[in-house]
Structure 1
Amino acid sequence: MSSSRIDALTQWAAEQNNLNSAAVRLSPAGGDASFRRYFRLTLPNGSTRIVMDAPPAQEDSAPFVAIGKRWYAAKLPVPHIYAADLDAGFLLLDDLGDTPLQALFTDQARTQQSHLDALALLAKLQNHANPATLPPYDAALLSRELDLFPEWCLNNWLSLPTPDSWDALRKHLVEQALEQPVVSVHRDYDAMNIMVHDQQLYMIDFQDAVAGPISYDVISLLRGRYCRFSQAQFMQFVDAFYRQARQDGRLSHHVSGDEFLTQCHAMAAQRSLKVLGIFCRLTLRDAKQGYLSRLPHFLAHLEDSLTALPQHSAFAEWVRGTLRPAILVRLAESDL
């Protein structure tokens, strides 16, 4: 971040809080995979705010502001937006602290309860956020996301040809997603985007929200970057979500538990493939560090999902016999 931009950010933060810019001190408060950066501002009364720097040339903050205001008005737990200058890319937000949900994953019992709490929060989102105001998670978007895998992981990083079994899997995963009820989808409902503040869970980084499959955020949480659950544990979490969604009307009684579980496995395969592509793109195109080392974790998620989709055994076999060895060799060559 250039000194001129930090000076402009400091001046803007001072103006929003009626302060002298000379008295403003901004301390780093984390970053993410995007070009956004966050700073903590301490006010004279001791309270704090988060100042977001989102360079408009790389980041469009308009969706974050629009969605944040709608969800806050719907009484969903998201940070309050005090001020925003979209032309400059500066935002002033609630400070939700430094404790993401994964910090609570200290033992099996707390990990399980934390995931159940996050599923309960997800029910609030799906019940109270109107999906009609969001872009559609349609076949075109689902397909573009899936295509990140052959483009960036296979072709650009591994120099592997796409297997013949890919087209059938790709078509099936899109169809399974589109068969599901449409709800508001956070789209990155991972533990790192759920903050624990004053013993309550809050959602952040929701700027990419869409109207899409009811299972997508369930999968973002259960097949995220911090945990790999056994098939039995995964089924228990999915069943808990399924029962609550049936009870409050998000899922029709015509959808059986087994049908929904299959849809979840298909959604998990879609997301794992997308993530494999995105992590390679972040590395190759955006020069981001640390993402390749996470590939084996999401590869394991993919393998877990494919075991529940026996009609795609040929692709699963290719993953075991070709993709996994190729990734491990490539990582070894990179000393990762």
Structure 2
Amino acid sequence: MTQADTPTRLDALRRWAAERHRLPPESLHLHLAAGDASFRRYFRLRLPDGTTRILMDAPPEQEDSRPFVSIARRWRSGGLPVPRLHATDLEQGFLELDDLGDEPLQTHLQGETDPATLAWHDKALALLHELQNSASPDDLPAYDAALLGRELDLFSDWCLGEWLDMARPPSWQALRDTLIEMALMQPVVTVHRDYDAMNLMVHGDDLYLIDFQDAVAGPISYDMISLLRGRYCRFPSGRFAAWVEGFRQSAIADGRLQSTLSAEAFLQQVQAMAAQRCLKVLGIFCRLTLRDGRDGYLQRLPHFLHHLEDSLAELPGHDEFRDWLTGTFRPALEERLATEGIQTGSSS
């Protein structure tokens, strides 16, 4: 049981909200609205006038809410769609936010070829342009070589070492170096860092940004591939490339990219960025399972392996690593998942 789940902490959250709204604590009923991969939990508070708010419980021993508060204020003042902060108590780790409802973007996705799915992704990409053009990366932590490397090492340490008990292939270091180098050659912008459908809330006809506390100053393509190679869809290569080219043209038009950057060169940078994130996610999902005891993440590994294979297939070089991925890693992954009772199906 985490600290966020203890009755004592929930009672403290109820007393805090009751004091803020000058209501008796016993009159407040908090309903769990959501949890995530961290120690944060979200509760819905209904006030006597029918207004609802979201209460964030972020135990300060495990979660530092200061970046979330700072970024929320800056982005909102810049006109970006983020929840309003109604109250903050950083010492206790309690925040009161706008209630954006219960419809993250993935609830509106109906498959890779569905017109509504495509339209929502167009809308999410338009919001990404707005984010990069409106939010300065100044004062955000740098998405530098050290951080990119630590993320990649999650794959070798947790997925290979801890979960599969496999050694890194000889080709690993060359791929690792290439992915870091290609990320660092991109222009630096504000990066949400988890620009996935689950962190875009549909509220009315608009999309709102949530879960942005890990934002960094980093590569221009990172959030785009978080969306297009996320956990819910696997788009055909032609559709993916068309979105990437549309992004390139928009970024050139408003000055985020140099006009001399060709479509082919940018697509290769994007594929490398996607490979970096897929490797990181494979490692994180194994760590969440093994270290944190979280359920449901192993089932997602085959999906991100498909994404990784799609990205590497379009990235020149690294044939040795691709062969290892297909001939050694995939069979080992599927065998290990089978021992957990998880059927992977045929690759496609």
Smaller-chain TM-score range? over 0.9
Task: Determine the structure 2 residue equivalent to 1:40.
Answer: 44
Specify the alignment match of 1:251 in structure 2.
257
Partner residue in 1 for 2:94: 90
Q: Aligned equivalents of 1:179 and 1:198: distance in 2?
A: 38
Output the amino acid matched with 1:6.
L
Unmatched 5+ stretches in structure 1? none
Offset at 1:258?
Answer: 1.1
Deviations 1:193-235 (A, max 9, x none): 0000021000000000000000000000000000001111110
Q: In the aligned structure 2, how far is the partner of 1:235 from the partner of 1:36?
A: 36
Q: CA deviation at 1:79?
A: 0.6
Please state whether the residue corresponding to 1:310 is helix, strand or coil.
Answer: coil
Q: What is the CA–CA distance in structure 1 between the aligned matches of 2:202 and 2:19, rounded to whole Å?
A: 29
* Corresponding position: 1:327 with 2:333: yes
Q: Following TM superposition, by how much is the alpha carbon of 1:151 offset from its aligned partner in structure 2, in angstroms? A: 0.2
Equivalent position of 1:127 in the other structure: 133
User: Of 81, 103, 122, which aligns to 2:85?
Assistant: 81
Q: Which amino acid aligns with 1:320?
A: T
Other-structure match for 1:13: 17
**1: CA distance, partners of 2:175 / 2:276:** 9
User: What is the aligned counterpart of 2:196 among 172, 190, 200?
Assistant: 190
User: What are the residue-to-residue correspondences of 1:231-242 with 2, within 5 Å?
Assistant: 231-242=237-248
The partner residue of 1:206 within 182, 206, 212 is 212
Using the alignment, how far apart are the partners of 1:17 and 1:186 within structure 2?
32
Offset, 1:131: 0.1
Counterpart Cα distance in 1 of 2:9 and 2:138:
37
Distance apart, 1:166 and its partner CA: 0.5
| 1:281 to 2:278 alignment | no
TM-score after normalising by structure 2: 0.95
User: For 1:303 and 1:247, how far apart are their aligned partners in 2?
Assistant: 31
Equivalent position to 2:181, from 165, 172, 175: 175
> What is residue 345 of structure 2 aligned with on the other side?
none
In the alignment, is residue 109 of structure 1 matched against residue 131 of structure 2?
A: no
Consecutive unaligned residues in structure 2, runs of 5 or more: 343-348
CA RMSD of aligned residues (A): 0.8
Show the counterpart of 1:220.
Answer: 226
Q: 2:26 aligns with which of 22, 38, 42?
A: 22
- CA separation in 2, counterparts of 1:127 and 1:112? 23
In the alignment, the residues of structure 2 paired with residue 191 and residue 241 of structure 1 have an alpha-carbon distance, to the nearest angstrom, of 18
Q: Take 1:12 and 1:127, find their aligned partners in 2: how far apart are those partners?
A: 37
TM-score (norm 1): 0.99
Q: Distance in 1 between matches of 2:282 and 2:110?
A: 27
SS in 1 for 2:295: coil
Q: Which residue of 2 aligns with 1:270?
A: 276
Q: Deviations over 1:148-179 (max 9, x none)?
A: 00000000000111000000100000000000
Distance 1:103 1:5 in 2: 30
Partners of 1:16 and 1:269 lie apart in 2 by 46
Other structure's SS at 2:149 match: helix
In the TM superposition, residue 86 of structure 1 has moved relative to its aligned partner by 1.0
Distance 1:45 1:181 in 2: 48
Q: CA deviation at 1:106?
A: 2.3
Query: In the aligned structure 2, how far is the partner of 1:265 from the partner of 1:22?
Result: 54
Q: Summarize deviations over 1:240-259 as a string: whole Å, max 9, x none.
A: 21111111111110111111
Would you say how many aligned residue pairs link Structure 1 and Structure 2? 336
Q: Counterpart of 1:10 in structure 2: which amino acid?
A: R
| Alpha-carbon distance, 1:185 to partner | 0.1
Q: 1:38 aligns to what SS in structure 2?
A: strand
Q: What amino acid is the match of 1:264? A: V
Question: Percent identical across equivalent pairs?
Answer: 61
1:163 — aligned with what?
169
Residue 57 of structure 1 is matched in structure 2 by: 61
Instruction: Indicate the larger mover: 18-27 or 286-295.
Output: 18-27
Residue 17 of structure 1: how far off its partner (Å): 2.1
Counterparts of 1:287 and 1:86, CA distance in 2: 27
Q: 2:257 is paired with a residue of what secondary structure?
A: coil
How far apart, CA to CA, are the structure 2 residues paired with 1:17 and 1:116? Answer: 40
Distance in 2 of aligned mates of 1:12 and 1:244? 46
